[in-house]
Structure 1
Amino acid sequence: MATKSSQGGSELRIVILGNDEENKVVKSVLNCENLTGEKVGLCTLHQSERGGRKISVVEAPGWDRLRPDRIKEEIVRSVSLCPPGPHALLLVIPVKTPSDEPSVGEMNASEMHMRLLSERVRKHTIVLFACDDGVDQQAIQKHIHSAEKILEECGRRFHVLQKSTCESPSQIHELLLKKIDSLVEKNHGDFFKPQANYELIEQKTEASETVTELRKRRGSMDNPFNCEFYSTKATAALTFRLLKH
């Protein structure tokens, strides 16, 4: 399913993983301060329309040490809440203060999110460093360096979400959407298929290929001009004549 650029309408489906504190990422994606999302379990579904383009954003719950099993279930379910699947996933890593050191727990949780959704999710993921006010470039670089493993797995795609005195919320929104659209274009409009759907498609494809192969074999057997058949028949006749003489 191809997805047009933000200037051309169509649809964009996004899942946000990680701790999106104060809904900064959702607000930036939708360019909206007053969110009216719908709760589905521990996930929240947001929908909006911009310039004729429908944007669906699923916000998965952040990692919670007190309820790890429940969180795992919700993360797996989150990609099914924007059917048939998200075009992009934003893996959020918070950068809170200038002196804030990268959290090992946060990085481990981010890697866990990725593993829960299979390796296929990597080509649809952008790592998003969500910065609080006052965070300087040095703190951002520390977090980028600490996330090196995740960045490598995701093709080194990342975006720094940071308020700027020279950029309006609309400009920040456009920059983020431009990065997402670039990813979608690179994937030729393909989207991440939830594991259950992916396995079903694989089974149907295998079954279809098996039926096609059986039909080819049947057609080969039914074809009276089959070269192999006549070659075998001629060889048998020649052998019979030689034996006779």
Structure 2
Amino acid sequence: RTLNKQNLNTERIVLLGKTGTGKSSLANTIFGETRLKINHFNDSNACLSQSETKTVDGRSLTLIDTPGFFDPSRSEKLEHEMLSCITECAPGPHAFLIVLKAEKFTEHEKAVIAQLCEYFSEDVLKYTAVVFTHGDQLPEGMKIKDFVNESEALSDLVRKCGSRCHVIDNKYWKNNQEDEYRSNKFQVAELLNSIEDIVTENNGGYYTNEKLQTLETEIQKEENRVRKSSENLSQEEIRKQAKVNIIKRHMENAQKSWLKYFVGFAIITGLFAIVSLPKVWGPPPQGGAKQLQGGRGVKRGKKQTKKKKRLDTASTGRPHKRSAGDEA
């Protein structure tokens, strides 16, 4: 992991969380207007991140709304979703927002955090704030830090994130003038301050790793190709098109790799099945044939001995005995 101070004119912020936690609505609340599609990822075919950029309180913010990461129903699309996410935030995000509902912190939420750290690294939490939605579910007079302290697991998570946690309500706190704390305007201002603290604490840089840096290099090369073929596009449009091309190319390569693996596996499985088939119409094993033949031979020998004895007895009427004359 390295820190970078390039492209600081716009702060890139990634929103992570399960489907239905209110990530898209949170982005729109921060922007102060509807810029991202709500329920964008309810379509089972949608698996790409969406991003929008706007100046908020004098700062240029790019909010990257991700699909429902780590949802069990979306596990087969996770690689595509992660590719889309890191392409949108390349060369790296200045901050991550883990979006949770203000309700019980379950084992599944714990797994989300574990997978986040596994995919990026434990250092990612240094660039992270926790944002709770559905703030109206908090008991009257309770603040979000009081809610967090009721759960050991939540307390541990927020502590690892520099004790940065906030709460909003995209539905009921839009124009709340009676209680300043239960006001989206107040909470968004506090959240923006936390994002600024994250950038400052990390020396003005952003989170990155080798994968993100490699992807950024690839995007820049693609930008040059787009620029040559489309001279009338702005730099923003060129970069957007370059990202689309990169995602499409990686997905096509992934599908080709999967197909090769499937065909190879099918061939190997078929050969194994053929080799393992019993030889129903062929001759019996040689060892078994010999054993049978040997057994018949012994049995036939015994019958012949008994037959010879019967013949000897029949010719004399009694068993043959040698006499003294015979000895002479």
TM-score bucket of the superposed structures, by smaller chain: 0.5 to 0.7
Structure 1 residue 27 corresponds to structure 2 residue 42? no
Is the CA contact 1:58–1:81 (under 8 Å) kept in the aligned structure 2?
Answer: yes
Is the CA contact 1:48–1:54 (under 8 Å) kept in the aligned structure 2?
Answer: yes
- 1:108–1:48 Cα change, 3 Å: same
Is the CA contact 1:28–1:172 (under 8 Å) kept in the aligned structure 2?
Answer: no
What pairs up with 1:1-245 in 2 under 5 angstroms?
A: 1=5, 10-19=9-18, 20-21=21-22, 23-32=24-33, 34-36=34-36, 41-62=47-68, 63-75=70-82, 77-96=84-103, 101-136=104-139, 137=142, 140-141=147-148, 144-162=151-169, 163=173, 165-167=178-180, 168-198=183-213
- 1:26–1:144 Cα change, 3 Å: farther
- 1:121–1:175 Cα change, 3 Å: same
- 1:132–1:170 Cα change, 3 Å: closer
Q: Distance in 1 between matches of 2:79 and 2:150?
A: 24
Q: Secondary structure at the match of 1:90?
A: strand
* Matched residue, 1:220: none
Q: Secondary structure at the match of 1:147?
A: helix
Is the CA contact 1:111–1:150 (under 8 Å) kept in the aligned structure 2?
Answer: no
Bigger strand share? 1
Q: Distance in 1 between matches of 2:157 and 2:114?
A: 7
Q: Distance in 1 between matches of 2:113 and 2:212?
A: 24
**Which letter does structure 2 place at the counterpart of 1:23?**
S
Bigger helix share? 2
Q: Secondary structure at the match of 2:72?
A: coil
- 1:102–1:109 Cα change, 3 Å: same
- Structure of greater relative contact order (alpha carbons < 8 Å, 6+ residues apart): 1
1:27-50 CA-partner distances (Å, limit 9, x unpaired): 232222x22469984312122123
- 1:193–1:141 Cα change, 3 Å: closer
Q: Distance in 2 between matches of 1:57 and 1:119?
A: 22
Q: Distance in 1 between matches of 2:63 and 2:206?
A: 14
Is the CA contact 2:97–2:131 (under 8 Å) kept in the aligned structure 1?
Answer: yes
Is the CA contact 1:2–1:189 (under 8 Å) kept in the aligned structure 2?
Answer: no
1:89-108 CA-partner distances (Å, limit 9, x unpaired): 00112114xxxx32221222
* Residue 144 of structure 1, CA deviation: 5.0
Report how many residues are paired.
191
- 1:200–1:177 Cα change, 3 Å: closer
Q: Secondary structure at the match of 2:52?
A: strand
Q: Distance in 2 between matches of 1:103 and 1:189?
A: 34
Largest Rg, 1 or 2: 2
Q: Which runs of 5+ in 2 are unaligned?
A: 217-328
Q: Distance in 2 between matches of 1:2 and 1:22?
A: 27
Q: Distance in 1 between matches of 2:118 and 2:28?
A: 27
Is the CA contact 2:48–2:84 (under 8 Å) kept in the aligned structure 1?
Answer: no
Q: Tell me the percent identity.
A: 23
- 1:178–1:67 Cα change, 3 Å: same
1:46-94 CA-partner distances (Å, limit 9, x unpaired): 2212355321010112232122142254135413303322100001121
- 1:102–1:121 Cα change, 3 Å: closer
TM-score by length of 2: 0.50
Q: Which runs of 5+ in 1 are unaligned?
A: 5-9, 202-245
